[in-house]
Chains A and B, each alone.
Chain A
Amino acid sequence: MKSVIAENLVKTYRKGEVKALDDLSLDVEEGTVLSVLGPNGAGKTTTVRILATLLSPDSGHATVGGIDVVKHPDKVREIIGLSGQYAAVDETLTGWDNLVMFGRLYHLGKKASIARADELLERFSLTDSGKRPIKTYSGGMRRRLDLAAAIIVKPKILFLDEPTTGLDPRGRQEMWGVIKELVDGGVTLLLTTQYLEEADHLADEIVVIDHGKVIARGTSDALKKDVGGERLEVIVEANQLKVTAEIITRVSGIAAHVDEGMRSVSSPVKNGTKSLMDALREFDEAKLHPLDIGLKRPSLDDVFLALTGHAAEETK
């Protein structure tokens, strides 16, 4: 069962000048996590806004939980949770005030809203700060509260638009923990991110988009396989680059790639550990001491580079 289906979405801004979505299609299987990965301006937020009924597509068709987002936006709003790029909460109010207010707006009733607010604050480790205005929160706490507001009525389908953008590593780790818990609870999640590591960490499946188009989709492993398998990489002193390249070429059987700036020599290898041991032996015999040597699995950065010809975080 597909919980989210988007078919051939097109959205242009400024009377057609800017094409945000260019025939974009994707779907999310019930109970799984799909990560929409792409650089700034790729169309991630536009996709989420259309699926969350905040924006109408120029053309194309989308259903969420089997309901058409354009024809029955009110029904879609009853079953989704949305947490956007910015913490969309009232900063002058306390965390508790916000959660109770949103509970009331979901028509939970006063008692149920209060109970749910208390429960969510505890679950997201915000009980102590619940009575403080959100202005005083750290970035990570704001995002957690924003996420809490999105799941007040336990939506089955959740949209998170760049949930960790701008957070420090610790805030990101905490956010990931909270998201994982939700996913374990069976929620269907569509998550956008420009962090490759995040998609790798959280998603069952990844859709890579660029310029409003899907350019690749698959599991993290499958995408990495597209780029090639493991690489043997050695970092050496600048004057040893040449002899190192000879060794690596001999071990891998493929002409080694030399990056003079990084002082690295690398080559794809089929049998990783054996190649690594062979290389170490040769370095030892040649009395060379590489600064670093290891097997590198391709990262999603490599995937993006291979697919688009530019790095993921460069384009603005």
Chain B
Amino acid sequence: MNFISDALVITKRQLLQLSRVPEVLIFSTIQPVMFVLMFRYVFGGSISTDQPGGYVQLLMPGIFVQTVAFTLAGTASGLAEDMGKGLIDRFRSLPISRSALVVGRTLGDSLLNIVVLIVMGIAGYAVGWRPTGGLLNTVLAFVFLLAFGYALSWTGIFAGLAARDARVVQNISFLITFPLTFLSNAFAPTTGMPRPLQYFAEWNPVSTMVAACRDLFGLENQFGATAGSFPSEHPLVTSIFYMFLIMAIFVPLSVRKYANKSK
């Protein structure tokens, strides 16, 4: 019982931070909206697709996934900053559960993701995105996006706890998330990539998530690689497997890192 209320206090702290420094929220929503506009109008014209409704239908699921993936950099640098300032030591000297702090943090990041996804959905709608998979499937897609973001935020937690400096960890996070989101089917067909990269893109969790969302939004899964492979046939199952895998690895690692007293 205490565990939940402790975690919620930490989540509330994050919301208070956002209310004190609203720029953080503003910029974390402006950036993905900017991506929507740029991709829609810069690449949209040159990437040919026979998708009814145009490129933007394929683009939006890609950008949704990219955005939730990018928030892990904020998770990581926020935590690294708390470490550097000795705040983590203070939390650890309190009579609260070891995992309350990290769980609270991941919940806060999920709340941030909800806001960002809503704003992006509206921006997408404004530039012509129309999901056709039905209301239930559309809602389901957003639930999976949040779940994917939640799973990934645990990698951010681990990176933040392992790092020594907030700026370094932010850069490292981008170094990982950028290739991960671009070496995928998110923005362009993978068929143009060299063969080894195609394999990577096909099994990339970002690709399976994007493909799963496209399914749920009622699209043909275009931009995916070879037909017949397991991830392209079963993107949702593969994605859920990845989420569990990420959490199975990073939740215990992070909790142990946090509790590890001989740092």
Check: B86 CB closer than 8 A to any chain A CB.
yes
CB within 8 Å of B: which of A60-90?
74, 77-78, 80, 82, 84-90
For the residues of B in contact with A, the DSSP-based class is helix
Please determine whether A90 and B2 come into contact, CB atoms closer than 8 angstroms: no
Check: B165 CB closer than 8 A to any chain A CB.
no
Assembly CA distance A92 to B263 (angstroms)? 26
Interface residue stretch chosen among B13-21, B59-67, B208-216: B13-21
Interface residue stretch chosen among B31-39, B89-97, B244-252: B89-97
Please determine whether A80 and B93 come into contact, CB atoms closer than 8 angstroms: yes
Assembly CA distance A77 to B100 (angstroms)? 15
Check: B253 CB closer than 8 A to any chain A CB.
no
The interface residues of chain B lying within 8 Å CB-to-CB of A97 are: 13, 16
Partner of B93, one of A82, A90, A107: A82
The interface residues of chain B lying within 8 Å CB-to-CB of A301 are: none
The interface residues of chain A lying within 8 Å CB-to-CB of B2 are: 107
Known: A84-B89, A105-B6, A106-B94. A90 touches B261 (CB 8 A): no
Count chain A CB atoms within 10 A of each CB in B5, B86, B93 and give the residue with the most.
Answer: B93
Known: A85-B86, A90-B13. A102 touches B94 (CB 8 A): yes
Please determine whether A92 and B95 come into contact, CB atoms closer than 8 angstroms: no
Tally of contact residues, B, Cβ under 8 A: 24
Known: A54-B261, A55-B262, A105-B6. A93 touches B93 (CB 8 A): no
Please determine whether B95 and A104 come into contact, CB atoms closer than 8 angstroms: no
Check: B87 CB closer than 8 A to any chain A CB.
yes
Check: B85 CB closer than 8 A to any chain A CB.
yes
Please determine whether A93 and B96 come into contact, CB atoms closer than 8 angstroms: no
Count chain B CB atoms within 10 A of each CB in A74, A88, A91 and give the residue with the most.
Answer: A88
Chain A residue nearest to B98 (CB atoms) is: A74
Chain A residue nearest to B93 (CB atoms) is: A82
Known: A55-B261, A107-B2. A84 touches B90 (CB 8 A): yes
Please determine whether A93 and B16 come into contact, CB atoms closer than 8 angstroms: yes
Chain A residue nearest to B17 (CB atoms) is: A92
Please determine whether A89 and B13 come into contact, CB atoms closer than 8 angstroms: no
Assembly CA distance A85 to B86 (angstroms)? 8
The interface residues of chain A lying within 8 Å CB-to-CB of B93 are: 52-54, 77, 80, 82
Please determine whether B95 and A133 come into contact, CB atoms closer than 8 angstroms: no
Check: A56 CB closer than 8 A to any chain B CB.
yes
Assembly CA distance A101 to B90 (angstroms)? 12
Tally of contact residues, A, Cβ under 8 A: 31
CB within 8 Å of A: which of B1-54?
2, 5-6, 9, 12-13, 16-17, 20-21
Q: Chain B 61-89 against A: per-residue CB contact (8 Å), 1 yes, 0 no?
A: 00000000000000000000000011101
The interface residues of chain A lying within 8 Å CB-to-CB of B90 are: 82, 84, 88-89, 102, 149
Assembly CA distance A247 to B13 (angstroms)? 70
Assembly CA distance A115 to B179 (angstroms)? 50
The interface residues of chain A lying within 8 Å CB-to-CB of B6 are: 105
Known: A84-B90, A85-B86, A88-B85. A106 touches B17 (CB 8 A): no
Please determine whether B87 and A90 come into contact, CB atoms closer than 8 angstroms: yes
Partner of A104, one of B9, B20, B91: B9
Please determine whether A93 and B20 come into contact, CB atoms closer than 8 angstroms: yes
Partner of A89, one of B5, B20, B87, B94: B87
The interface residues of chain A lying within 8 Å CB-to-CB of B95 are: 74, 77-78, 106-107
Count chain B CB atoms within 10 A of each CB in A78, A94, A101 and give the residue with the most.
Answer: A101
Assembly CA distance A89 to B20 (angstroms)? 15
Partner of B13, one of A53, A55, A82, A93: A93
Please determine whether B20 and A133 come into contact, CB atoms closer than 8 angstroms: yes
Chain B residue nearest to A52 (CB atoms) is: B93
Please determine whether A105 and B91 come into contact, CB atoms closer than 8 angstroms: yes
Please determine whether A93 and B17 come into contact, CB atoms closer than 8 angstroms: yes
Chain B residue nearest to A86 (CB atoms) is: B86
Distance (Å) between the CB of B238 and the closest chain A CB? 39
Please determine whether A77 and B20 come into contact, CB atoms closer than 8 angstroms: no
Assembly CA distance A55 to B263 (angstroms)? 7
CB within 8 Å of B: which of A108-158?
133, 149
Distance (Å) between the CB of B49 and the closest chain A CB? 44
Assembly CA distance A192 to B189 (angstroms)? 62
User: What are 27 A-B pairs at a CB distance below 8 A?
Assistant: A49-B89, A52-B93, A53-B261, A54-B89, A54-B261, A55-B262, A56-B262, A77-B93, A77-B94, A82-B89, A86-B86, A88-B85, A88-B86, A88-B87, A90-B17, A91-B85, A93-B16, A93-B20, A97-B13, A97-B16, A101-B16, A102-B94, A105-B91, A105-B96, A106-B94, A107-B5, A149-B90
For the complex of A and B, list the 10 residue pairs with the smallest distance between their C-beta atoms, beginning with the closest.
Answer: A88-B86, A88-B90, A77-B95, A86-B86, A82-B93, A104-B9, A78-B95, A56-B261, A92-B17, A88-B87
Q: A residues bordering B, Cβ < 8 Å?
A: 49, 52-56, 74, 77-78, 80, 82, 84-94, 97, 101-102, 104-107, 133, 149
Known A82-B90, A102-B94; further 7 A-B contacts with Cβ < 8 A: A53-B261, A54-B93, A55-B261, A78-B95, A86-B85, A93-B17, A149-B90
